[in-house]
Every structure is written in structure tokens, then in C-alpha cells.
Structure 1
């Protein structure tokens, strides 16, 4: 029977291979990028399951919705709203998970922490609003949700400055950066180099969140 260390090595190696193949595909091999993208979250959840004794149902569910978000966004315009909805559910679950780590909630501090996230979101919406059309409301809802994820993880880190809380916060911020690049690329200024930057930041964000969850679940 495989021991825990061997599982971690095998699952981490599989994830790394999938990431390398996908990034290589993004550099000019579209079919490789297309077929490896769904395996990003599959391999990441295997990393998580291989490193924990008892899986967090909500985290696995968030990765599940992220997987469907990746799949829907493979088809771009045709299923963009489906991809957006899938990632919206994933972020709601990430917020739930992060909020449960908070020892206490100071509303005044939470409001203060939220200010830069609100300013950034308003600035982004103002930048892309002319191209949004009927997508204005869904994008605003999505923006509020992921900004809330960032604010909750920052509040969590400020309450307890551990390495895993820092990973969770950085994961949320880098996820925001990835999603903002998607918005700019789709609704403001499409550029080819955004594609690989979006995926690299997305992969790093999801991996950091996974690392944080592994440590937190191990400490329970």
C-alpha cells in the first residue's frame, strides 16, 4: 500500500507535468493547451487528497466548480457565462472556507480593509463598462464576490499572520489579478500575451490556496 509521502510525490509530479504541458501548449500548441486545461484542477485536487487525511468537502467542491469553469471557458464566447457562473460558485465557497478561519469579525476593521478592493473594482468596471453591454450586471456580481474573497483572506491574515494564511491571501490576490486580466483582455484591450499570463496567475493562485488548505487541514 502506498504511503503518504509517496502519494504526495506522485500527485505533485503529475500536477507539475500537467502544468508544464499546458504552459508549453499556450506557447503555440493550441490543441495541447486545450486538452491539458481540464486536467489542471483534476491533478491539483489529487495533490490535495494525497496530502490530507480528511478532505474538506467545501474546498473539493470549490475545485470542482473551478474545473467546470475551465471546461466552459475552453469554448470562449459560447459558454463564457457558464464559466463565469462556475467560478462564481467556486469563489463563494472560498469565501465560506476563509470566513470559517476567522476568530472574530470586527465590522469596522472589515469595512476599512474592503476600501482598496472597492476602489479597484470600481476602477475596473469604469474602464470596461462601455464594452460590457448585458454582461454589466454579471461582471459586477462576480467582481464583488472575488473582491470579498480577497478582503476576507486579508482580514484572516491580519488576525493570525501564519504562512498558510499568507498563502491563502496571496492566492486570492493573484486570482483577482488573473480575473482582472480576463476582463481587460475580453472587454477592453485584447492582447495575445494576456493568455499565458492569465493562466500562469490562475495556476499559481489555485496552487497557493491548495497549499494553505493542506496545512490547515493537517492542523485540525
Structure 2
């Protein structure tokens, strides 16, 4: 990795530290922090059954503020580079629906759980399946077993199936968030860590809610459950800050993997093809990348990555027997 690329990635890592994100995006996050403060001032202990609609409005306002934050940060209904932000935004929308349904949990509890389950699926699809990192799965299974043992004697059949499926989706989301973290200093990004930490806090909030609802009442359950929940959603929303750059870099890696796979499958046919010819076709097919990447630094990183891919393919071809 070149010194220039390392410097750029280091600068990105610094800019995505939480204090710097809050400093740079502070005005966009003011509505969130204000609505959270108002919610806890109005409802410090528990929701009031006599004012469900009032409670619903102030409970949902912080998530509405995070949706507004993503919209203000920049999003497009089209374009590969905004796919991450779109999925996180849609996940927040389903979380908002789940919040509203759980206010009337006596009638719509299962519906609310299903809405949150869909939000976890959307978060997981935003995180992607590369790298897979199957070795992390055992760490995801253990919490599921613990929660199953905790709730197995208190849930009736139809509800238990929904709850266990939801727990599985939650751990799947956390697995995908954990898998995308890169420990290497040159490729470390704080926003990926935020998505993982957000998933952990989300699971913590759900566990506290389940414990309070089905096992034993908890002191200060409102503060414990909602604080961890709002913090989780905030961290997940903050992960979109550098998602544009992250998606573009991941796309280059996917291109490299796919090209190498094609060469492995058709090595004898492609061994005489020069890498420049491959990239000419690739550039023509994906010309929109040049149109969507406006940031000069990102463009420079992508060009360096492209040269690196070409060198890797050239080296592979030189070792491929005809």
C-alpha cells in the first residue's frame, strides 16, 4: 500500500472518530439529542397508558430525527454508492414502525417484533456478506442459547417462535457488522465499529426489555431499555458518514475478486489477454463510477486500487500455464 493511500485512509479514520463526527455533523444531530432529552423528561419511568398517542409521538421523534440526519447527510434513490445509506434509512423506517406498534403492545406486540426483525435484515444487507468470516458464528450462537434458556419457560408457543426468530435475526445482523470490521490500522474505519457497537447495544436493549417483560420487572427499565436503544440507532445511523467511500472501495475489491475468478475458470483462454484490455471493458461497463465519485481523494484512491488490481492480475497471468 502506498504512503499516499495510507495517509488518506488514516485521515479518513481520524475524521470518523466519534468526537469528530459529532463536531462535523453536530447541527444535523441536534434534533436527535433534543428529542431524546424531551422524551426522558416527559417519561422518566414508564409509559403512561392514559396517553398512548402522546407517548407514541415523543417515543418516535428521536428515530425521525435520525432519518432526517441521513437525508441531510446526502442520499440518492439511484446509484450504487448510496445503497448502504438507503438500506440503513429503510431499516430506521421499519424501526420507527416497530416503535409505534409496541406502544400498543397489548394488540400489536408480534407485529412490532416483526417490524424490528425486518429492520435487522435491512441492516445486515447493508453490511453485506463479504468477508463472510464463518468462524465468528459460534460467538453469535452462544447468546441465542442463553436467551432461549432464560425465556423457554415463560413464552407460549406462537409468540416463542417469533421471539426466537427475531433473536436469530439480531445475532445475524451483529455477525455481519462484526465481519466487516478490519483490524488493520491502514484499513480501520470507526464507522464500521459503530455499526457493530450499535448492534451490541440493540441486542442489549432487547434483552433488557425481554427480561423486564417476561421474567422479572427491572428497576428503571424505561431508562435502561430506551437509552441503549437510542444509542444503538444513533451509532448505526452514524455509520453512513463515510459509507459512500466505503462502498466504492468495496466495489473495487469485488471487481478484483470476480476478475480473478473468471481468469481461474478460463485461464487458458484469457492468459493471452492483457490486463489493460480487461480494464477497458470493465471501465466501459461501469463508467458511472467516474460520474458518481466526485471527491478527488476518493478518485485517487480508486485509481491506485485499479492499478493494484491490474498488477495482481498481471502477476496471476504470468503464473498461469497456457
Pairwise same-fold verdict (TM > 0.5): yes
Q: 1:179 aligns with which of 206, 212, 215?
A: 206
Q: Give the C-alpha shift of residue 192 in structure 1.
A: 4.1
Task: Please list the CA deviations of residues 52-92 of structure 1 after superposition, one character each: whole Å capped at 9, or x if unmatched.
Answer: 25353222211110010000011122211111010000000
Change in 2 beyond 3 A, CA 1:132/1:158: farther
Task: Please list the CA deviations of residues 103-156 of structure 1 after superposition, one character each: whole Å capped at 9, or x if unmatched.
Answer: x32xxx41x211122111111111111111121111110011000111111111
Q: Give the C-alpha shift of residue 189 in structure 1.
A: 1.2
- 2:178 aligned residue: 154
The CA distance in 1 between the partners of 2:91 and 2:212, in whole Å, is 25
Change in 2 beyond 3 A, CA 1:35/1:192: farther
- Stretch of structure 1 that moved more, 23-32 or 146-155: 23-32
Does residue 1:85 correspond to 2:114, yes or no? yes
Give 1:23-172 correspondences, 5 Å limit.
23-28=40-45, 30=48, 31=51, 33-54=55-76, 56-99=85-128, 102=130, 104-105=131-132, 109-110=133-134, 112-134=135-157, 135-158=159-182, 161-172=188-199
Task: Please list the CA deviations of residues 9-33 of structure 1 after superposition, one character each: whole Å capped at 9, or x if unmatched.
Answer: 5432211111110121231584564
**Contact (CA 8 Å) 1:53, 1:218: kept in 2 or not?**
no
Q: Which secondary structure state, in structure 2, belongs to the residue aligned with residue 131 of structure 1? A: coil
Change in 2 beyond 3 A, CA 1:116/1:64: same
Does residue 1:204 correspond to 2:231, yes or no? yes
Q: Give the C-alpha shift of residue 171 in structure 1.
A: 0.6
- 1:3 aligned residue: none
Q: Which secondary structure state, in structure 2, belongs to the residue aligned with residue 213 of structure 1? A: coil
- 1:19 aligned residue: 36
Q: Please report the TM-score for the alignment, with normalisation by the length of structure 1.
A: 0.86
The CA distance in 2 between the partners of 1:158 and 1:150, in whole Å, is 15
Q: Which secondary structure state, in structure 1, belongs to the residue aligned with residue 128 of structure 2? A: helix
Q: Which secondary structure state, in structure 2, belongs to the residue aligned with residue 132 of structure 1? A: coil
Structure 1 residue runs without a partner (length 5+): 1-7
**Contact (CA 8 Å) 1:52, 1:217: kept in 2 or not?**
no
- Stretch of structure 1 that moved more, 180-189 or 54-63: 54-63
Bigger Rg over Cα: 2
**Contact (CA 8 Å) 2:178, 2:196: kept in 1 or not?**
yes
Aligned residues: 208
Structure 2 residue runs without a partner (length 5+): 1-24, 77-81, 249-322
The CA distance in 2 between the partners of 1:145 and 1:125, in whole Å, is 14
Task: Please list the CA deviations of residues 198-220 of structure 1 after superposition, one character each: whole Å capped at 9, or x if unmatched.
Answer: 10001000000111112213655
- Stretch of structure 1 that moved more, 178-187 or 33-42: 33-42
Question: RMSD of aligned C-alpha atoms?
Answer: 2.1
